[in-house]
A and B are shown apart, each in its own frame.
Chain A
């Protein structure tokens, strides 16, 4: 990494996905009937419950597993999850908030330069893959971090990883690689 590479990059977290368990069986029908802002999907066997604040959509299964999506930060995700559990508790279920885990974080970042994807792919042969006919972005996987980065020629990249910290690290890792392959306009 270039030491002078101190660009303030704006990493915007767009989505945080978390799961937790209520440790009790949930009656989906009851939730669907009595809950607020719920969508019942009996064909799939789950209930979607949307919270306004924080803006969260939760998929609730009868087993008690709940997946929370739509949060913009990890704290938000946790608060939303607890709020959701609280709602279920009010509905009458013996809910215990347990096993909360953020499983996925989506972030986008806009690099100040455009990227030469073909060159980038050539430089990072096995790790990066690029099939323009399938998808306009080059995909780069960082195995250790378990993070995936999609690089677009415009310089926008989207990152997904298990947590926010990983995502930040991933950006730092990939920046120099991208920097090398930037397109220089004259």
Chain B
């Protein structure tokens, strides 16, 4: 169930991404700016989440600290936006993500590499899970932006590392920020220090060192850097496997998240960080977490700066010193469900489910049998359409009728109808699919369906084959 929910949410997101991508050109041709497109995507994603039709978007109840955060990438979105959400499918490789994200500025979901090209906002209280499976809780809303290659800010994320180290819930991000600030100071990195993305700890940490990523972040963080963040929390949390560095294709100055080594380019920073964090795991899975962290760190950095990094500038600032402090601040009680907050996107919250999927009026061929398959849906349609219920109104497709004396005007038959219980179901359960074989014997039906989406009980299920039996 869990896996299917994840698969479903991946599917939906990929659909969303595909559509957005295909539409991007048209938008641009029309002279509409990208911000609108991003907003559209954001709204779409929020609606999907709001509809709760997809499980994966929500936090896992099992592991409160584990959730897939969906992030609508939005250039215009800047820090502090609660709407940001990052999707980190557990176990998914960064590579996958980048592939997905490639070219899509609006890609919100990314399995991990946080820094992917765009300011990514991580709202406070969100728990991020890296591909490696490590969880990081963001206590401070952070904005992860992409910095040019040269510049990587490496803020020591050690603190974030992990749920295992539950820090006392820290209230305001603002608090975090100041602490973060200190950290950068230590790192003496006014410039965006290369984000040691690799360090897992970096995750939710606010970037102490705000680094304006003017310089392309050097990606290869020395291993130690990456590891250091991990160090503090090695025991509690097995360092997440380094996020396989996938160079983020999108941005020009993208930090290559190779091996998640966002190597802080200034050695100085590195050293500092190293000092703090024993270089241990870096190699291991730090990368994953790092990538995760980096964006967050960046975000944090942004926060203090108060301005989103312009596109192309990604910076991860990891303040090693900050680790602990940040961690504390970042990690709140795991019960905090950041997702609920995240879902609050601006815009009409009509909570409609994905409309593009519930399409009964699809191609004719399907409709013929959709009529049978989703009797409930039809019923709903009928209710909606025939509610007017006026005997005199005629549909437009009526042809002229001759006036011929008729026996018993049907109006008297009004009593006749009003019949059987509008068929029990007033449900919204719908299946939209293709059929292989539909068979009926008297009142026994057998269905052989394929490639469909089923909305049952408000939840969406996707299937490639479905067999059903029913009695009418």
With A and B bound together, what is the CA distance between A128 and B402 in angstroms?
46
Min CB gap A164→B, angstroms: 20
- Chain B interface (Cβ within 8 Å of chain A)? 360-361, 364, 367-369, 371-372, 375, 378-379, 381-382, 385-386, 389, 391-395, 397-399, 401-402, 404, 406-410, 413-414, 416-417, 419-420, 423, 440, 472
A40-B371, A83-B416 as given contacts; A90 in contact with B386, CB under 8 Å: yes
A23-B402, A27-B397 as given contacts; A100 in contact with B407, CB under 8 Å: yes
Does A141 count as interface, using CB distance less than 8 angstroms?
Answer: no
- Chain A interface (Cβ within 8 Å of chain B)? 23-25, 27, 29-30, 32-40, 42, 50-53, 79, 82-83, 85-87, 89-100
With A and B bound together, what is the CA distance between A45 and B364 in angstroms?
14
4 tightest A-B CB contacts, nearest first: A86-B417, A92-B395, A98-B406, A96-B406
Contact call B417/A94, Cβ cutoff below 8 A: no
Min CB gap B39→A, angstroms: 34
A residues in contact with B404, CB < 8 Å: 23, 96, 98
- The A interface is mostly helix, strand or loop, or mixed, namely mixed
Contact call A92/B413, Cβ cutoff below 8 A: no
Contact call B407/A97, Cβ cutoff below 8 A: yes
Among B369, B371, B385, B408, find the residue whose CB has the most chain A CB atoms closer than 10 A. B371
B residues in contact with A90, CB < 8 Å: 386, 389, 391, 417
B residues in contact with A98, CB < 8 Å: 404, 406-407
With A and B bound together, what is the CA distance between A53 and B417 in angstroms?
10
A residues in contact with B416, CB < 8 Å: 79, 82-83, 86
A23-B404, A39-B372 as given contacts; A91 in contact with B382, CB under 8 Å: yes
Contact call A93/B395, Cβ cutoff below 8 A: yes
Other-chain residue from A27, A35, A51, A97 in contact with B413 (beta carbon distance below 8 A): A97
Contact call B407/A38, Cβ cutoff below 8 A: no
Among A23, A79, A90, find the residue whose CB has the most chain B CB atoms closer than 10 A. A90
Contact call A34/B410, Cβ cutoff below 8 A: no
With A and B bound together, what is the CA distance between A79 and B419 in angstroms?
11
Contact call B406/A32, Cβ cutoff below 8 A: no
Contact call A94/B406, Cβ cutoff below 8 A: no
Contact call A89/B406, Cβ cutoff below 8 A: no
Contact call B367/A37, Cβ cutoff below 8 A: no
Among A27, A53, A85, A92, find the residue whose CB has the most chain B CB atoms closer than 10 A. A92
With A and B bound together, what is the CA distance between A85 and B389 in angstroms?
13
A residues in contact with B399, CB < 8 Å: 24-25
B residues in contact with A87, CB < 8 Å: 417
Contact call B413/A83, Cβ cutoff below 8 A: yes
List, sorted by A's number, 9 A–B pairs whose CB atoms are closer than 8 Å: A30-B395, A30-B397, A35-B382, A37-B472, A40-B367, A52-B420, A86-B416, A91-B386, A92-B395
